[in-house]
Amino acid sequence: MIKAMLIITALGGADYMVEMPTMESCLDARISIMKQDRTLKTLCIPKENDIDKFKAFLSMFTGMIREMKEMELDDKLRSDSNGEANRECSSGSRQC
């Protein structure tokens, strides 16, 4: 659910901002304010929830990590198929 920010500007230039739980509640509050004082300017703008924003960032980050691991695995498999990883070291073991 997207929250909303209610911005109220008075004639003197003072701004007042209130975070509202939903856009609908913001619009309702805006109408109530307009009925009380027609000189006030009000505006409701969407505000993304910080938790949702963090979850989206974390999801994107973990996706990049998965892609990097897949690329690393692809490179390793490609080098194994080319015989580079199958050569023996001077000590006779396969790990150098």
Residue pLDDT, tens place only, 57-87: 899 999 999 999 999 998 888 888 776 545 5
69 vs 47, higher pLDDT: 69
Per residue, the 3-state secondary structure of the chain, as one string, reads: CCEEEEEEECCCCCEEEEEECCHHHHHHHHHHHHHHCCCCEEEEEEECCHHHHHHHHHHHHHHHHHHHHHHHHHHHHHHHHCCCCCCCCCCCCCCC
Whether residue 89 is predicted with pLDDT greater than 60 in this model: the reply is no
Whether residue 18 is predicted with pLDDT greater than 50 in this model: the reply is yes
At residue 85, the pLDDT reads 47
Residue pLDDT, tens place only, 28-41: 999 998 898 888 88
Tokens at 1, concatenated: 């659910």
Average pLDDT value for residue range 32-57: 85
